Amino acid sequence: MPKVSFYPADKYGDVPEGMSVLDASEKLGLELRHDCGGFATCSTCRVMIVDGVENLSEIDLDEENMLEEAELPTPFRLSCQTMIQGDAVFLIPEPEMDWSKGALRELNALTPMSRAVIRVIVEARARKAGESVILPDTAIPAVEKAKAELEEMGGDKAAVSALIKRVCELP
């Protein structure tokens, strides 16, 4: 049976092949939001893939449309639409932090497809630094740094996952 892990909750275990990531999270005792009940119409069940992208079902049209509408790029997936075919590691992004108006302007200047990933990276670093609100002084260099790191990776999914793993201090 495939082994799956969820961070930062640190829940892991074996789940049947073919089970959705959402069902797997419930089986392991996690309560992931899933407002639309698993019909690919809300995006609240989003997870980030940290490892094992090759062990998951392909993205179908419904999921692709919803990810696009919610501006969620790779490595985000909708857990209700993603079936497990082998070992995989997931990150459930923590609830979003508050950004001041000026800081948010910096984030919103990014392309939609990089915004969600950069937000997770910047917030993880800010949490680690003990900050509770993202202010412009933090946001401007932090967004620039994350943007440069992602650009350097040139769409290499494994490198992006490794960066997220490092920043979020996943084992």
Helix then strand then coil, % of the chain, to nearest 5: 45, 20, 40
- The CB-of-1 to ligand FES minimum distance in angstroms stands at 23
Within residues 48-67, the interface with ligand FES by CB under 6 A covers: 66
Q: How far is the CB of 43 from ligand FES (least distance, A)?
A: 5
Bridge partner residues of 78 (DSSP): 46
Asked if 22 and 80 touch (Cβ cutoff 8 Å), the reply is yes
Starting at the edge strand found earlier in the chain, the sheet holding 11-14 runs: 11-14, 3-7, 88-91, 46-51, 76-78
Which of the stretches 37-45, 112-120, 125-133, 144-152 binds ligand FES when contact is defined by CB under 6 A? 37-45
* One residue of 19, 45, 120, 143 binding ligand FES per CB under 6 A: 45
Chain position carrying tokens 């179908």: 60
92 belongs to the binding site for ligand FES (CB under 6 A)? no
- Residues at the site binding ligand FES, with contacts judged by CB under 6 A: 34-36, 38, 40-45, 66, 78, 80
